[in-house]
Amino acid sequence: MATIRAVIFDFDGVLFDTEPLHFEMFRQVLRMEGVTLAPDRYQARYVGLTDQACFRAVLTDSGWSVVSAETLDRLVACKTNLMQAALRKALPVLPGVREFVGAVRETCRTAIASGAVREEIALCLELAGMTSMFEHISAAQDVRHGKPAPALYLHALDGLNRRSPLRAHECVAFEDTPHGIEAARKAGIRCVGVATTLPESRLEQADLVVPSLDTLSLSQVLAQLPR
């Protein structure tokens, strides 16, 4: 097995338990547009998409024939404001995340590749005192196509390469949705599925699935990755 030199984390559902908040804010914003979003529908079809992609998909599935860029920008801005207000009230850091990332940094470079908007990522990391734990962050605004396209992972890899050379097979990703797993694998990066948002059966395309990052070490994870 190639030496792993960098770990690239998804954000929502891997580092922070923000997926329930995302659903609630999507639902609130869509309700103002007269559109209902059911929890099971969100989990089955939309979880893991960028805000723009989620709004576009939900509205299209709800019968909207035209979803303009202006409409999407307005809905995303509204949701971002609601999310930031909610995050300032209660920061949902997942158990064991600070310890896991801190230990990873002792031997590997670290980055984030997330479909979340940069403002939400930056706010969470700042409030959790974790900003300095990541060398690079790729967010929704950095690419035209979110997950399951590989663009976010390729952007993160390019960002890490600006400091020193790194190849895709020298990285491992941590993801909590099928869209994210597909994105990492399309970028040539092996992926560990973290079953914090969805059951392990939904993450079967990952190279390895773990229940959470709590009580795990990177060496334990790497030892279980298929060679």
Mean pLDDT of successive 10-residue stretches along the chain, which has 227 residues? 88 93 95 96 91 95 95 95 91 93 96 94 94 97 94 98 95 96 97 95 96 92 89
Give phi and psi for 82, each to the nearest 5.
-65, -40
* Residue 174, pLDDT score: 98
* Residue 96, pLDDT score: 94
Give phi and psi for 174, each to the nearest 5.
-120, 120
206: DSSP letter: S
Q: 21 CB contacts (<8 Å, ≥6 apart)?
A: 83, 86, 87, 92
Element (H, E) at 133: none
Residue that is written with structure tokens 């990703």 in the block: 173
State pLDDT tens for residues 29-63.
999 999 999 999 999 999 988 899 999 999 999 99
* Residue 218, pLDDT score: 94
What span, in angstroms and rounded, lies between the C-alpha atoms of 169 and 13? 24
* Residue 211, pLDDT score: 95
Neighbours of 227 (CB within 10 A): 4
* Residue 2, pLDDT score: 61
